Amino acid sequence: MLSIKNLHASVNGEEILKGINLEIKAGEVHAIMGPNGSGKSTLSQVLAGNETFEVTEGDVTLNGENLLELETEERAREGIFLAFQYPVEIPGVSNLQFLRTAVNAMRQHKGEGEMNAAEFMKLAKEVSRQVDLDPAFLKRGVNEGFSGGEKKRNEIMQALLLQPKLAILDETDSGLDIDALQVVSNGVNALRAEDRAILMVTHYQRLLNHIVPDYVHVLAGGRIVKSGGRELALELEERGYGWLGVKDEEAANSAN
Amino acid sequence: MATTDTEVNELIKREYEHGFVTDIESDTFEPGLNEDVIARLSAIKEEPEWMLAWRLKAYRRWLEMEEPDWAHVGYPKVDYNSISYYSAPKRKEDMPQSLDEVDPELLRTYEKLGIPLHEREKLAGVAVDAVFDSVSVATTFKEPLAKAGVIFCSISEAVRDYPELVQKYLGTVVPHGDNFFAALNSAVFSDGTFVYVPKGVRCPMELSTYFRINAANTGQFERTLIIAEDSSYVSYLEGCTAPMRDENQLHAAVVELVALDDAQIKYSTVQNWYPGDENGKGGIFNFVTKRGACIGRNSKISWTQVETGSAVTWKYPSCVLRGDNSVGEFYSVALTNNYQQADTGTKMVHLGKNTSSTIISKGISAGRSSNAYRGLVKFGPGAEGARNFTQCDSLLIGDRCGAHTFPYIESKNKSAIVEHEATTSKVSDEQMFLCRQRGIDPEQAVSMIVNGFCKEVFKELPMEFAVEAGKLLEVSLEGSVG
Amino acid sequence: MKQAPTLPAAFLHPAGQSMPEPLLALRKQRGTALVDMPLPTRKTENWKYSSKYLKLTDDMAISLPAEGKSGSSLAVPGYRVVFLNGVMMPEASDYPDLDGITIERFGDLDDDEAAELADRMDSTLGDRSGQSAVQMASLNSARFEDGLLIRLKPEAVLDQPLFIVHEVTADASGSAYPRIFVEAGRHSQITLVEEYISSGGESVMVNTVTEFTLADGANVTSIRLNMEGDNVQHIGATGVRQQRSSRFESHCVGFGGPLRRHDLQVRLEGEGAECKLNGVVVTQGKQHYDNHTTIEHVAAHCNSEETYRNIAADQSHAVFNGRIHIHQDAQKSNANMNNKNLLLSNGAEIDTKPELEIYADDVKCAHGATIGQLDKTSLFYLVSRGIGRREANVLLTMAFINELVQQIPVEQVRETAQTRLNQFFDQTFEGA
């Protein structure tokens, strides 16, 4: 489904991704782990089309189509969904209005008719219950005044609504207590499907106890330095990143 | 982000839709201003002696005044002698007796503006007074209004037909020498709207005026006077457009509102005068004095404005809260783009006991424009228990524009309470990225974010205007987000 | 049109000639520029609310005598410099020779140093062509008779606060023009306390200017305590220029007078610079106090935080005008301004004008202002717990400013301020 070949990307002239290669097939769940500063978030932003990052080399295709030529919104309509690490607030724009606009943009793209307000409301309420969010949240401004956990649940709810082909979850577990982690994981597991792939980006393997990946990749210094199965994550948890010859910048920084 | 900036710029660049010139015959004065011009103007309008005397008094006062320079705007000096002070569409007959008799060319103009008078009559139930250049051309719905006892006519007619009312109230809220532009207006006002709602009457429909400057080198100086007697209610809307012209044109209006005991006046404006082109050429100078007096107890005056037009705007719809328990409100959205400059806001002068006021101002600056809020909240010694709440937010789109806030707060009463808050923010790259990642077009995203920013004001507009206002913002912003 | 009154010519005759030539030349040049300077009127935007309190008479033009005995009994910890009627009193001052720190009178500078200083004087006060906020400060530049240049070499740290006591002895009409210039080198650190006091009862004017320049990483705390008598008109200006990552903190505590005016201007010129401005003003009787602050965000990534509180009792009048100006290149600026006011009496007046002028888009700016009286519910709550009405008023009034008082980093200043505040409470809430 997603094929990444020799992907290089930089921000403000500084190269962050230095040749990423990755194949993801439909139905698979991949986890990307790595120390802070390794390029994990950059990879997810580049895939979603954030223009802060410049792709300098390489190819990315989604079901054979060149992703890099598409605008951010076109990628979204082709089925790329990014759950943000830091969900953005948009004051004054209600969640409901925002989501309906998004859903209808997708439907229009697929040649389906727009959903009317009542139909949409029903659907949105259903989905919000799935992630244990009070439907009252639908009427509030997008992420406005939401707690960290509520924002993360809101992201997963959007994924459930938009039904993407590839869901990229960027540090979706950060800042969640154990109960919230459970709720979010249930939401993500509900997303798992034969025709859908999931790419999780995370620093810790905690999340992987709840959402079991098929493959684990270690990203360091802008490259994937090791790939393996579920057991790789456990090994990382135990031994840190050092044994891979990777400097954990966070560990190094906190030591300073 | 470079790319989104470009998108925003394209969004902003959409052209002014109402910029066509109507080719009709008109009677226009030679440019220039002196006592003779004023006398001729008064004569054409068949005004009584006292009216001319009042005009001349204002003119003489104006001659002694200096053009104000304190506002945060810069514009070339206006040569008041190069302006024509009267332009009227030439009529085939003396006066049109009904809409059927109005110059069809003129009616088509209104249709182009999206105000088909015929249709309005049937569909909207809105009574329309249309002021074209300097004169009122048609007033609809006179009959049902007359049945309710409401007078809704041009101010010229009112001077002739209801002289006692006009004489009693004209200049009581905005005196003839109030400020430079108000004095000029008092001397040369050519037409405008007069509304009188008698005691206990709730005006059965929304009243509405559309203003349009058509002829070149003319100024428009309309004068509006609305009087709401005890326990009456009226909602009044005005809309403004002007054709595209390279030279600047002057619009110096005066609006006076008088609310007596328990009366309510709701005054809404959607102002879309030609703002000049994207290089700042042309456009209307909009120097307007709007003021309402809550004379009576428990009276209420509410101003709602959506301002997207004009090259330079200088405008502060205000309330003088004299009656005990009276209420003043000001809800404003001011959007500036390209080289537009706006210095707008309000004054809430609290004199009576337990008076209260609310100010919600949303400024949006894009392009190289400058957008300033200037407001005064004043509590006199007698304003026992008075309250004000002010919220003043600015949204910046692009890094070449300016957003400014100049609030003056003065209190002489210890039991009066004022709270003022202001914030400045931008449409952030992150917000845009989030929307686009969810599949939403950049144009739609910007419009959604800006509309969200303005929500508190839009909900104050009458329904049909709220839709129009949202669309207007979209159009004015096309090409602008970053 | 009526001619606006101008500065009486008598004000342009400085005394005290014992100064290096470049400073005398500067003084003369500033004086020439002030000939026929219109005095502020109600129409002068910067003096809108305060011009009526400015009363300059010819006999006030005379310099107060640079002699006499300081009546100051202020026991100050740390280092001390006393200015009496605008002239420094070495015998009353007490500060040691410090490593990397020089404290010199203008008269002791050699010509080169004086020329360099003359070049930099007034440079923190922005555009002199503008309205008369800074023009009134120019009067100091035309009249100063003595001054102090404090220089900190890179990384020099003044280990204790330096107190400068500005005292006027108002035994006859006249005026005084003390002047301070502080140059804080890279990563240097200083806390400067300026106390303004007076004795005697004749009408006098104090016109004072203090300037600070902060090099990269410098850390300066300025504390200003204004406690002059009801016969003293005070017009003061403080100018600050900050380079990269420097930090300036200001605490102004002012009690009212016949005219009190303080202009504080801060320019954040280097990235990462930060300032925090706190102010407390208390007025009573027929007193007046007017604080005008301007923060210029010139460089990117700077922060400013401003908090001012005014309390006006009786027939007094307090004014606050805070202006934040974000220049076009000052992206990522963070600016917060907050002004709260307490009106304790119906005869009193409070005017506030918090302004934002913003030319950069990627900024976070907010301001808030309130005017009100003591909260009746809180008062009732306290009284219902058996607290006396007077005591309850004092508690709540103090609570309104306590946060700011507690933030003053020098204990002796907090105590002095508290003593004066207690007097104010006694007079304002007597037996109520």
CB contacts of A71 in chain B (<8 Å) are 436
Q: Is the pLDDT of residue C128 over 70?
A: no
Give yes or no for residue C16 having a pLDDT over 50.
Answer: yes
Which secondary structure element, helix H or strand E, spans residue C111, and what is its range? helix C111-120
Query: Which chain C residues have a beta carbon less than 8 Å from that of B397?
Result: 361
SS3 label, residue C411: helix
Of B210, B215, B239, B272, residue with least CA distance to B14: B272
Nearest-Cα residue of chain C relative to residue B409: C352
The pLDDT tens digits of the residues spanning B253-274 come to: 999 999 999 999 999 988 877 7
C-alpha–C-alpha distance, residues B301 and B331, integer Å:
11
Residue B4 has pLDDT above 50, yes or no: no
Element (H, E) at C190: strand C189-200
Least confident of A68-72, B126-130, B217-221, C153-157: B126-130
Q: Residues of A numbered 118-157 whose beta carbons fall under 8 angstroms of chain B's beta carbons: which are they?
A: 141-142
Using CA atoms, how far apart are residues C210 and C148, in angstroms rounded to an integer? Answer: 10
**pLDDT band at B133; cut points 50, 70, 90:** low
Six-digit token string for A169: 């979850």
- If 0-12 CB within 10 Å is exposed, 13-18 middle and 19+ buried, where does residue C377 land? exposed
Residue B72 clears pLDDT 90, i.e. is over it: no
Given a contact cutoff of 8 angstroms between Cβ atoms, the answer to whether B364 and B307 are in contact is no
Which chains have 3 or more CB–CB distances shorter than 8 Å to chain B? Answer: A, C
pLDDT digits (tens, 9 = 90+) for A68-103: 998 888 898 899 999 988 888 887 788 888 888 888
CB contact under 8 A, B434 and A93: no
Chain C residues lying within 8 Å of B412, measured CB to CB: 346, 348-349
CB contact under 8 A, C356 and B422: yes
| CA C181 – CA A11 distance, rounded (Å) | 45
Q: Are B414 and C346 in contact (CB under 8 A)?
A: yes
- The mean-pLDDT minimum among B35-39, C271-275, C386-390 falls in C386-390
Q: Residue A169's CB: how many other CB atoms inside 10 A? A: 28
Q: What is the per-residue pLDDT across C286-333, written as a single tens digit (0 to 9) for each?
A: 999 999 999 999 999 999 999 999 999 999 999 999 999 999 999 889
Q: Are B418 and B387 in contact (CB under 8 A)?
A: yes
pLDDT at B190: 81
**Token representation of residue B270:** 């959607």
User: What tokens were used for B354?
Assistant: 């337990």
Partners of C16 in the β-ladder: none
Q: Nearest CB to B419: which of C348, C351, C370? A: C370
Q: What is the mean pLDDT of chain C?
A: 90
Task: Return the half-sphere exposure (C-beta side, CA atoms, 13 A cut-off) of residue A177.
Answer: 3
**Touching chains, C (3+ CB pairs < 8 A):** B
* Contact with chain B for residue C356, Cβ under 8 A: yes
Q: Does A16 contact B at CB distance below 8 Å? A: no
Q: Give the tens place of pLDDT for each residue, C129-150.
A: 444 445 677 899 999 999 999 9
Helix (H, G, I), strand (E, B) or coil at B242: coil
Spell out which residues of chain C touch residue B426, defining contact as CB-CB under 8 Å.
361-363
Q: Look at residue C178 and tell me whether its pLDDT is greater than 80.
A: yes
Q: Which tens digit of pLDDT belongs to each residue from B174-202?
A: 999 999 999 999 999 988 889 999 999 99
Contact B399 C365 (CB under 8 A): no
Main-chain dihedrals φ then ψ at residue B476, nearest 5 degrees: -65, -25
Residues of B in contact with A47 (CB under 8 A): none
Is C322 an interface residue toward B (CB < 8 Å)?
no
Three-state DSSP at C258 gives coil
* C-alpha distances out from residue B180 to A238, B61, B85, B288, C26, Å: 80, 9, 16, 10, 42
Q: What is the mean pLDDT of chain B?
A: 81
Tokens of B426: 């931008």
Handedness of CA B69, B73, B74, B75 (dihedral sign): negative
In eight-state DSSP terms, residue A89 is: P
B444 chain-A contacts, CB cut-off 8 A: 101, 105
Angle at C235 between CA C230 and CA C236, to 5 degrees: 120
Which range is most confident: A167-171, B78-82, B228-232? B228-232
Which pLDDT belongs to residue B242? 57
pLDDT of residue B225: 95
C196 pLDDT more than 50 = yes
Which pLDDT belongs to residue A238? 81
In chain B, positions 394-413, which contact chain C (CB-CB < 8 Å)? Answer: 394, 396-413
Q: How far apart are CA B449 and CA B362, in angstroms?
A: 13
**Mean pLDDT value across chain A:** 86
Interface of B with C in 233-272 (CB under 8 A): none
pLDDT for B293-334, tens place per residue? 999 999 999 999 988 888 888 899 999 999 999 999 999 999
Cα(B327)–Cα(B299) distance, rounded to whole angstroms?
A: 6
DSSP per-residue string spanning A95-123: HHHHHHHHHHHHHHHTTPPPPPHHHHHHH
* Cα angle: B436, vertex B438, B444; to 5 degrees: 50
Q: How far apart, in whole angstroms, are the C-alpha atoms of residue C164 and residue C196?
A: 9
Q: Which of B441, B442, B455 sits opposite A92 (nearest CB)?
A: B455
C256 and C229 in contact (C-beta within 8 Å)?
Answer: no
Residues of A in contact with B453 (CB under 8 A): 91-92
Q: Residue B397's closest CA among C358, C223, C298, A211?
A: C358
Quote the tokens at residue C403.
Answer: 């946060």
**What SS3 state is found at C52?**
helix
pLDDT digits (tens, 9 = 90+) for C214-251: 999 999 999 999 999 999 999 999 999 999 999 999 99
Task: Let me know: does A24 contact A166? Beta carbons within 8 Å.
Answer: yes
